[in-house]
Structure 1
Amino acid sequence: MTAGTEVVPIASGQVTVCWRASRQARRISMRIDPRSGHVVITLPRGARRTDGLALLRAHSAWVAAGLSRLPPPVDLCHGGHVVLDGRRHEIRHCPDARRGVWLEDGVLHVSGAEEFVPRRVSAYLRAQAQARLPARLCAQAESCGLKPTQVRLRDTKSRWGSCSSDGSIMLCWRLVMAPLEVQHYIIAHELAHLQHMNHGPDFWLLVDRLTPHRRQAEKWLHDHGASLHRIAPV
């Protein structure tokens, strides 16, 4: 079975299935991609497409429920909106301007041809993430005497951050859209892993010493975190 995409009927309607072939997988697996809204089915060596379809249809209610919980996709176009640090800004196309992309009075202005607005807004978001998130992590690290060896940004699908055994910390760039309290908590969470590479009691005690926002941030991520993944990079 080779990789590919197709529309498949199930009890609740139709879904788009992305097939993935894996030599490492030991069994058929299925998940919902929060960005595209597609159902990703991974087939191990020797598995057939019909086996994957059988799994899909056996769990069609789970798939339908998962898709129904996804927030609507966000369109980065004129008249749409973008969020930075938890604050919502209107996107306004300014065809006659020559300033690129700039934020002013709660409005994100975008110059140039209208067909390039989504690409320019996406690039602006990534640039803001690069400018803000590492600096905030370093400031928090300095305030509590912890020293990561490296800070990297990635576009992850399931984790907001991670810390490796060599002290390198990764953050999902999409966090720049979350409220500052949420960013503070995720950064504290990863900094705590510099001392505790687990999620034991001592780890959570340290997290609570590093940030007062844990409960609030966890609730926000549970309620709204998926919406950050519905903004697809262009």
Structure 2
Amino acid sequence: MTRPRAAMIFAAGFGTRMGDVTRHTPKPMLPLRGRPMIDHTIGILKEAGLTRIVANTHHLHDRIAPHLEASGVVISREDPQILETGGGLKAALPLLGPGPVMTANSDAIWIGRNPAATLIKAWKADMNALLLVSPAAGARGDFGLNGGRLERRGDYVYTGLQIIRTDRLDEIGDEVFSLNRYWDLLAEDGGLHGVVYDGVFCEAGDAAGLAKAERLLSNV
């Protein structure tokens, strides 16, 4: 089994759901329990043994790049345009190297067992992608699970962390595209898998989510 050694953190977005606060501060740099939100993600990845961490940047690059570099994170700068998640991953491949990689959303917070370690333990060589999912709380989910394989629409939400093979990204010719398009491609031969996280997941993508994450982490 080839486990991932490299990870990509998506940190290029504009953070518009946060409102005015992200006009001058990149969302991944907003404080959470006294340190930048992205530091929680970096810590989880390093703890799980990911030896090379890359983050893409675009919005307010100069206000996040020095912090990332000081943390040992390699930067994939998207300029002049933002490339979305799929395009961002594709552009970062020269920095990530060959083989499967882990990707993480910088506004995802996990409380409990190390989520990256959970994915690594469940990863198998015949998978195209393995997504960490959590039961949808009172809302329609992103995926259903059928024998470990993911199907569109169901009772689970994507928690922002996955292991994914990158060797078919060139089959999408566009420069700017979402990972959703790549997932659809990888799912064609049943290679899209999921594992349920046994801890608590919180998306801190807006002010309410960030406040919820602050409350949850205060009890840890």
* Same fold? TM cut 0.5: no
Q: Which gives a bigger RCO, structure 1 or 2 (Cα 8 Å, sep 6+)?
A: 2
| Richer in helix (by share) | 1
TM-score by length of 1: 0.28
